[in-house]
């Protein structure tokens, strides 16, 4: 894989306003992709989450969620440094689980597949609508692609990834709109905490479908704000 810094991604600042994450990009304060998805979450997803919290107990649910967030953050940090050529084998100290998870994604999902890197942890925005930070942008198996890295407590199924696919739709649509690219593939690389690797790919019309689904959520978000 090689770097091709063909696009000038903007710098941005992130802040919480009234509990919501906003990006300050080009003098616009834009809601993040995750903020929009959280604010427009369907009731059935909310009910499902509440049932899970009741089942495991609220205290334990908070512990599980916090550990997953910390694990994902450390794993992302390791992968980012690999992509930037700044890998330090002692980066995570004794936190070997995250290092091993990152290694699974690097060896099975990136090496010999990711041919060209345009950016990682790069700020993307759709003017007047939303912004966010993409894990990786580039050419993946010969297609212009958006790549997301995810951790999971257990192996995932395709039908569980709707929110992840809408994130890919949001970032690819923003990139194509601002930079005139033709990103038509979204890739999710997952590793579970017990080191099971999975790869999910959406392409062409399927990616467009999720771009449109995300735009519907954007419109819903701004409609709710007006109310």
- According to DSSP, the β-strands at 130-140 and 143-152 are antiparallel
Number of domains composing the chain: 1
106 secondary structure, DSSP code: I
- The interaxial angle of helices 205-226 and 162-179, nearest 10 deg, is 90
Res 95: pLDDT: 58
Backbone angles phi, psi at 90, to 5 degrees: -100, 15
What are the E-state strand segments in 170-225?
185-192, 197-203
Which domain does 210 fall in, by range?
2-226
125: nearest Cα among 202, 218, 187: 218
Check which CATH number belongs to the domain holding 154 and give it. 3.90.320
Q: Residue 192 pairs with which residues in a beta bridge?
A: 152
Is 196 exposed, middle or buried (CB count within 10 Å of its CB: 0-12, 13-18, 19+)?
middle
Residues 74/98, Cβ–Cβ less than 8 Å: yes
Res 38: pLDDT: 93
Whole-Å CA distances, 140 to 5, 23, 69, 214:
16, 27, 26, 23
The CA radius of gyration of the chain, in Å to the nearest whole number, is 18
Res 92: pLDDT: 47
Report mean pLDDT in 10-residue bins for the chain, 227 residues.
Answer: 93 75 88 94 85 85 83 88 77 68 94 96 95 96 97 94 97 97 98 95 97 97 86
């Amino acid at each position: 894989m090689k770097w091709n810094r063909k696009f000038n991604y903007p710098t941005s600042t992130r802040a919480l306003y009234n509990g919501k994450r906003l990006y300050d990009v080009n003098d616009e304060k834009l809601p993040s992709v995750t903020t929009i998805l959280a604010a427009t979450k369907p009731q059935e997803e909310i009910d499902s989450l509440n049932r899970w919290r009741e089942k495991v107990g609220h205290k334990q649910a908070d512990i599980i969620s916090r550990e997953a967030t910390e694990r994902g953050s450390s794993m992302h940090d390791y992968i980012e440094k690999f992509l930037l050529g700044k890998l330090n084998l002692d980066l995570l100290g004794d936190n070997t689980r995250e290092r091993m998870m990152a290694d699974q994604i690097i060896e099975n999902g990136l090496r010999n597949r990711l041919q060209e890197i345009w950016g990682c942890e790069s700020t993307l925005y759709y003017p007047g609508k939303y912004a966010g930070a993409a894990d990786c942008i580039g050419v993946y198996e010969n297609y212009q692609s958006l790549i997301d890295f995810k951790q999971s407590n257990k192996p995932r199924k395709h039908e569980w990834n709707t929110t992840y696919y809408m994130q890919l739709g949001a970032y690819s649509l923003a990139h194509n709109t601002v930079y005139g690219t033709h990103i038509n593939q979204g890739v999710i690389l997952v590793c579970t905490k017990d080191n099971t690797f999975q790869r999910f790919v959406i392409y062409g019309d399927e990616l467009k479908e999720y771009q449109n689904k995300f735009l519907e959520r954007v419109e819903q978000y701004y409609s709710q704000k007006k109310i």
